[in-house]
Chain A
């Protein structure tokens, strides 16, 4: 089973603050799923991982044209905190 520290490390990488209780739940659930998934190591696979999932005719070149986006206000309206045309955030660099 994944230990507490391992779960906390993954959570930190994923920027997820977890409660004590959550850590023990995810120890169990992550381990359960990861144990199951190890079956893939038994499958013989070709070396190249090439997966073609995008239809061949989807991509292509197009004219590089400028379109004006006029929804600035609508986007700012969804901001958790704003000041004028800016998103308001806590300090990035903390004072010593």
Chain B
């Protein structure tokens, strides 16, 4: 078996049986990246020497493999995480050449669990986008069809796993940036509950919504990565102190029998018919195993887009004020005074969509508009949270499609910001409510493009959410990988 065809689960099994060593696994993935990345533009940086060195250190620890939950697992990291010594651009020209002075807690925890970094992955600039076309380093292409987008903003993270350039990757999800690309690339992506994973060392976009999460080929793989990096971190004051149970241990014995799954029917208008069909089939599969479908209402979910596009830009206008050309990052060459240094550095360094969101936020927070925009959005956000609280009082999870369509063509939605924003209508409310969500592949459309099922769970009830997803995945059966890349 080709090493890069493995899942995390089968790699761990292979290490146990001493079929291969971490350095051989590292070399196999690095070779695959060399061969395929030119077509995908998923990786922005690899450091062969450093990666092989880290893997060789693990070679010497083969006897301890049992005690390390991610022993010898190569992980791709979205380029908005700091990894000491590696470049971190966040997909922006502003941060071109920026060297990370320390490592993000999430990455450090994975390294402590035996994993090693295989490379940094392309993304929409500052994680703002739904197609990965906003990267200053060029778009990522979808391994299922190179003319189509992989989704965004973690498009590199999803394309790389789908194309078997790494068995797992990290992304960030502020409004759908893990689940939507996972759906469009036919893999699994988890947005954990807000506060489950530390964000120390991750480039901030909208702090009340940002959350770190994993991508994998299977629910088990992604859950294994999540359980290794979740948990308290004194360096992130929004990170919960509650203990992290082992998700992978309990999912196998979990039964769907009697599990109540909420479905908000009114939410499904405007969904692509093939996506809807796959969604209904997924529900039927779970129903057959004893799950009970329950009609629910999320009356304010329809306002998620407006709410999100006030709150996220407001927070981003504040968070991104730090890119001023003073301490690090891009500085304009010709500036006569400080005011010019700020405006020219930002004007030249920051890309189109990010500027739009900074200005939206600046406007929403400006004197005279604050109450009508930012305050109002927070009030509606509370109502959306309450909708979810009510729904979860009577069901263990809520199901929806992850994205209303399958992967669209490059350039198809770049002219109108709203058209692009609409591809996140099912994922946005999850971030606003602070609950957990996962996207699991549910089928292929007539063009052969993957469709995703989104399952949403109560805040901090990842054990139930991931178990339901795992059981669904088992019912669905094996899912294909994209063909024709090699």
Contacts and interface: CB of A to CB of B under 8 A. Distances in A.
A30 interface: yes
A43 B362 contact: no
Contact of A74 (B101, B238, B310): B101
A81 B331 contact: yes
Given A36-B418, A43-B303, A57-B240, A78 B378 contact: no
A13 B362 contact: yes
B306 A13 contact: no
Nearest to B386: A46
Given A33-B417, A58-B239, A89-B338, A53 B359 contact: no
B309 A33 contact: yes
Interface in B338-366: 338-344, 346-348, 350, 352, 355-356, 358-360, 362-363, 366
Interface in A47-70: 47-55, 57-60, 62
A14 B331 contact: no
Contacts of A30: 356, 359-360, 363
Given A51-B208, A51-B381, A58-B237, A17 B327 contact: no
A91 B379 contact: no
Contacts of A59: 237
A47 B378 CA distance: 10
B343 A17 contact: yes
A5 B329 CA distance: 29
A41 interface: yes
Contacts of B416: 32
A94 B336 CA distance: 9
B344 A71 contact: no
A53 B350 CA distance: 29
B365 to A, nearest CB: 9
B363 A34 contact: yes
Interface string B430-450: 000010000000000000000
B328 A40 contact: no
A40 B306 contact: yes
Nearest to A37: B306
Given A34-B360, A37-B309, A89 B341 contact: yes
Nearest to B332: A17
Interface in B213-234: 234
Interface string B303-319: 10111011000000100
Given A10-B366, A62-B234, A74-B99, 15 more contacts: A10-B359, A16-B343, A17-B340, A17-B347, A18-B355, A36-B309, A36-B418, A40-B310, A40-B377, A43-B300, A52-B434, A58-B241, A71-B102, A77-B99, A79-B327
6 closest A-B pairs by beta carbon, nearest first, are A17-B347, A45-B379, A80-B331, A74-B101, A78-B328, A55-B195
